[in-house]
Amino acid sequence: MTSEVVENEYEFYSKAEKYWKDVPATVDGMLGGYGHISSIDINSSRKFLQRFLRDGPNRTGTTRALDCGAGIGRITKRLLLPLFKTVDMVDVTEDFLTKAKSYLGEEGRRVRNYFCCGLQDFSPEPNSYDVIWIQWVIGHLTDNHLSDFLKRCRAGLRPNGIVVIKDNMAQEGVIMDDVDSSVCRDLDVVRKIIRRAGLHLLAEERQENFPDEIYHVYTFAMR
């Protein structure tokens, strides 16, 4: 539980905001010095996502996606824009969203909205998104705020839409990282929060071919 490791909620959020303000607006900056794993990450995410976009009665649409904790738009550029007609981006760091406008190039014209906001305060527009993609950012929310945010995401989905979380998983319990003011939860804790938000898990997958020294990374699809 984050309540056991986060002593001061205000400090938890403001320290994280300050940390990201000093991070370079580059792919390497977004990935904490692991820019070289970006292609492995994107290719796995594409395979995971495409199983929901294939033809069928409950096929997830490809009209509009939301990239949460979008940074400079690494995922928007390489995963979402090639698959969706339009994308919205949300991130707490204004400099990253400014940089995104040049980083995304011509295709960036299909980004409709750049929302500068922490996810604890962000509400996706109801009934608007086919896919809400949340990667490497849930550790910046307390359990209660994450659960509440996922409830708002559920309301933001179009018919057959999905919410996807891709993030680091601890071996056991909840671990605090004082450097970037984030937490890393184990699989059971994350699954409990997903259930608490009223979402149903559709698929779960462990990322392969990442460096041994980093946390295990899992992807969840839910609606």
- The residue segments making up the domain with residue 48 are 2-222
What is the CATH number for 48?
3.40.50.150
CB 221, CB 203: distance < 8 Å = yes
Determine the Cα–Cα distance for residues 78 and 55; give it in Å rounded to an integer.
22
- The three-point CA angle 72-182-171 to 5° equals 115
Residue 198 labelled as part of a binding site? no
Number of independent structural domains in the chain: 1
Query: What is the rounded average pLDDT of the residues 9-33?
Result: 97
Residue 207 labelled as part of a binding site? no
Residue 189 labelled as part of a binding site? no
- According to the model, what pLDDT value does residue 54 have? 87
Residue 119 labelled as part of a binding site? yes
Is 90 exceeded by the pLDDT of residue 2?
A: no
Work out the pLDDT band at 1, boundaries 50, 70, 90: confident
Determine the Cα–Cα distance for residues 20 and 96; give it in Å rounded to an integer.
9
Work out the pLDDT band at 26, boundaries 50, 70, 90: very high
Is 90 exceeded by the pLDDT of residue 219?
A: yes
Is 90 exceeded by the pLDDT of residue 223?
A: yes
Work out the pLDDT band at 213, boundaries 50, 70, 90: very high
- According to the model, what pLDDT value does residue 168 have? 98
Give the chain's mean pLDDT. Answer: 97
Is 90 exceeded by the pLDDT of residue 55?
A: no
Work out the pLDDT band at 94, boundaries 50, 70, 90: very high
Report the chain's terminal Cα–Cα distance, integer Å: 23
Query: What is the rounded average pLDDT of the residues 76-96?
Result: 98
Per residue in 132-147, pLDDT (tens digit) is 999 999 999 999 999 9
Residue 91 labelled as part of a binding site? yes
DSSP conformation letters of 56-83: STTPPP-SEEEEET-TTTHHIIIIITTT
Query: What is the rounded average pLDDT of the residues 99-124?
Result: 98
Residue 92, phi then psi, degrees to nearest 5: -80, -15
- According to the model, what pLDDT value does residue 101 have? 96
- According to the model, what pLDDT value does residue 3 have? 80
Residue 174 labelled as part of a binding site? no
Per residue in 152-194, pLDDT (tens digit) is 999 999 999 999 999 999 999 999 999 999 999 999 999 999 9
**SS3 assignment, position 38:** helix
Residue 120 labelled as part of a binding site? yes
